[in-house]
Amino acid sequence: MKENQTKTIKIIGPAYPYRGGLATYNERLAREFISQGYQVDLETFTLQYPGILFPGKSQYVDGPAPAGLSIKRTVNSINPISWIKAGRRIRKEKPDLLMVRYWLPFMAPALGTICRLARKNKHTRVICLADNIIPHEKRPGDQLLTRYFMNSIDGMVAMSESVLNEIDQFTPNLPRALCPHPLYDSFGEKLNQQKAKELLGLDQQTSYLLFFGFIRDYKGLDILLKAFSDERLKKFPVKLIVAGEFYTKPGPYLELIRELNLENRLVLKTDFIPDNEVNRYFSAADLVVQPYKSATQSGVTQIGYHFEKAMLVTDVGGLAEIIPHNKIGYVVKPEPRSIADALVDFYTNNRQSVFEANIPDEKKKFSWANMVEAFFDVYGQIATRIP
């Protein structure tokens, strides 16, 4: 596929006007393909999640559509007629590559149907970019739905070893490639730390840890709160910023904060953080903390890399593949004591400058060009199997 002539690529998944990391990623990937000379358009949802299934306050972003991208809203996630129309139309359009984003079994019927219909033209190659195959929050029927989807694609790009290995539970001979999640470099430039604190109304004499992103139970905020209540941390002038909207019931977390007497040691910004404010939170923080209970990969680490921030992650899923322990941060067990030990070490031994000095070389691994190359790799594998 990697030839001088223009090739056509269609991306199906979240995009404007939907908000969140998946949409940001798909739009950034489209720009990378375009920069390499490919003709790209994106198709997203007329309805992504029914209101009853959506845990946040809004699915939509404010502001204008991203310039320079062709984005159409064509797919209703719960309307089979829209799936059939989209699949038949794509079959006729004959894009060379149909890239479909898979992250949740709920989407399997819609995406699987579209892919099956599109492939019937015997020309379009369907390659999935998989965030998860086995979901973090499991529900009855997940295996059946995912199997339906997995049998509708020609190949897959995974962003962690754990996801790559999960492929064999469904389609053992599927062409595949592994490529780490690229940098999220679309949130502006790094700010001076003092300026970032000023913009957020934070105390200049206080240090800040950052928990960032949608709050879901598997992300382990409760573990971090327990770790942060460790008596050893109270001697440091440090607070924890929790920046992100609750995608679960907030009551248990707020009660835990009260039980641990953390009210005066937290900065709670539990609304959706607009893209143009993301750089403020990362620039203000000394360390980004991801205390996940389960994971495959995380976009938060790639925002952290972009802003060259030291990071702490737990040893779950693919996170340890991304953060070299004691080089740019910590990889610890998903338990309060292990996290607290690392935080105490960070401030006691002034690790911030050492970790941050190592990040520029490490982040070179996570380019968008590498992700495009992974798709070419899988496309080539598929081509060798065609009679």
Summarize pLDDT for 221-237 with one digit per residue, the tens. 999 999 999 999 999 99
Sheet holding 71-76, edge to edge: 71-76, 39-47, 8-12, 97-102, 125-130, 155-158, 176-178
* Least confident span in 133-137, 144-148, 327-331: 133-137
User: Do 163 and 209 lie in a common domain?
Assistant: no
User: Do 314 and 375 lie in a common domain?
Assistant: no
Structure tokens at 353: 């400058």
- Mark 230-255 as b/e (b = at least 16 C-beta within 10 Å): beebeeeebbbbbbbbbbbeeeebee
Q: Is 47 helix (H, G, I), strand (E, B) or coil?
A: strand
User: Do 338 and 242 lie in a common domain?
Assistant: yes
User: Do 133 and 227 lie in a common domain?
Assistant: no
Residue 261 — φ and ψ, nearest 5°? 55, 45
User: Do 15 and 143 lie in a common domain?
Assistant: yes
User: Do 17 and 166 lie in a common domain?
Assistant: yes
The pLDDT score that the predictor gives to residue 95 is: 97
What is the band of 320 on the pLDDT scale with cuts at 50, 70, 90? confident
The pLDDT score that the predictor gives to residue 57 is: 67
Helices 299-306, 21-35: inter-axial angle, 10-degree rounding: 60
Q: What is the mean pLDDT of residues 19-47?
A: 95
Sign (positive or negative) of CA dihedral 161, 303, 294, 209 = positive
What is the band of 4 on the pLDDT scale with cuts at 50, 70, 90? very low
Domain range for residue 355? 193-364
Task: Output the CA–CA distances (angstroms, integers) from residue 78 to 51, 55, 106, 137, 377, in the order listed.
Answer: 12, 17, 9, 20, 33
**Helical spans, DSSP H, in the chain:** 21-35, 80-93, 108-119, 142-150, 161-166, 193-200, 221-228, 251-259, 278-284, 299-306, 319-322, 336-348, 352-362, 368-385
CB 238 within 8 A of CB 157: no
Question: Does position 1 have pLDDT exceeding 60, yes or no?
Answer: no
Q: In angstroms, rounded to a whole number, what is the distance separating the alpha carbons of residues 68 and 34?
A: 10
**Residue 138 burial (C-beta neighbours within 10 Å; 0-12, 13-18, 19+):** exposed
User: Would strands 39-47 and 8-12 be described as parallel, antiparallel, or unpaired?
Assistant: parallel
Question: Does position 54 have pLDDT exceeding 70, yes or no?
Answer: no
User: Do 157 and 39 lie in a common domain?
Assistant: yes
Summarize pLDDT for 169-186 with one digit per residue, the tens. 999 999 999 999 999 998
Tell me whether residue 18 is in a domain: yes
| Percent of the chain with pLDDT strictly greater than 70 | 96
Question: Does position 2 have pLDDT exceeding 60, yes or no?
Answer: no
Number of folded domains in the chain?
Answer: 2
Tell me whether residue 227 is in a domain: yes
CB 211 within 8 A of CB 239: no
The pLDDT score that the predictor gives to residue 6 is: 53
The pLDDT score that the predictor gives to residue 134 is: 86
- Give the list of residues 6+ apart from residue 64 with CB closer than 8 angstroms, or none: none
What is the band of 190 on the pLDDT scale with cuts at 50, 70, 90? very high
User: Do 109 and 16 lie in a common domain?
Assistant: yes
Smallest Cα–Cα separation from 288: which of 271, 270, 307, 275?
A: 307
Summarize pLDDT for 191-211 with one digit per residue, the tens. 999 999 999 999 999 999 999
The pLDDT score that the predictor gives to residue 386 is: 67
Tell me whether residue 188 is in a domain: no
Tell me whether residue 3 is in a domain: no
Q: In angstroms, rounded to a whole number, what is the distance separating the alpha carbons of residues 149 and 114?
A: 10
What CATH number does the domain containing 254 carry?
A: 3.40.50.2000
Tell me whether residue 294 is in a domain: yes
Task: Output the CA–CA distances (angstroms, integers) from residue 371 to 14, 355, 374, in the order listed.
Answer: 18, 26, 5
User: Do 314 and 260 lie in a common domain?
Assistant: yes
User: Do 247 and 271 lie in a common domain?
Assistant: yes
Tell me whether residue 187 is in a domain: no
Q: What is the mean pLDDT of residues 100-126?
A: 96
Tell me whether residue 315 is in a domain: yes
Half-sphere exposure (Cβ direction) of 53: Cα atoms closer than 13 Å: 9
Tell me whether residue 22 is in a domain: yes
The pLDDT score that the predictor gives to residue 186 is: 85
Question: Does position 56 have pLDDT exceeding 80, yes or no?
Answer: no
The pLDDT score that the predictor gives to residue 162 is: 87
User: Do 123 and 266 lie in a common domain?
Assistant: no
Q: What is the mean pLDDT of residues 326-335?
A: 96
What is the band of 166 on the pLDDT scale with cuts at 50, 70, 90? very high
Summarize pLDDT for 340-387 with one digit per residue, the tens. 999 999 999 999 999 999 999 999 889 999 999 999 999 999 988 865
- Taking residue 291's Cβ as centre, other Cβ atoms within 10 Å add up to 25
Q: In angstroms, rounded to a whole number, what is the distance separating the alpha carbons of residues 1 and 7?
A: 8
User: Do 164 and 292 lie in a common domain?
Assistant: no
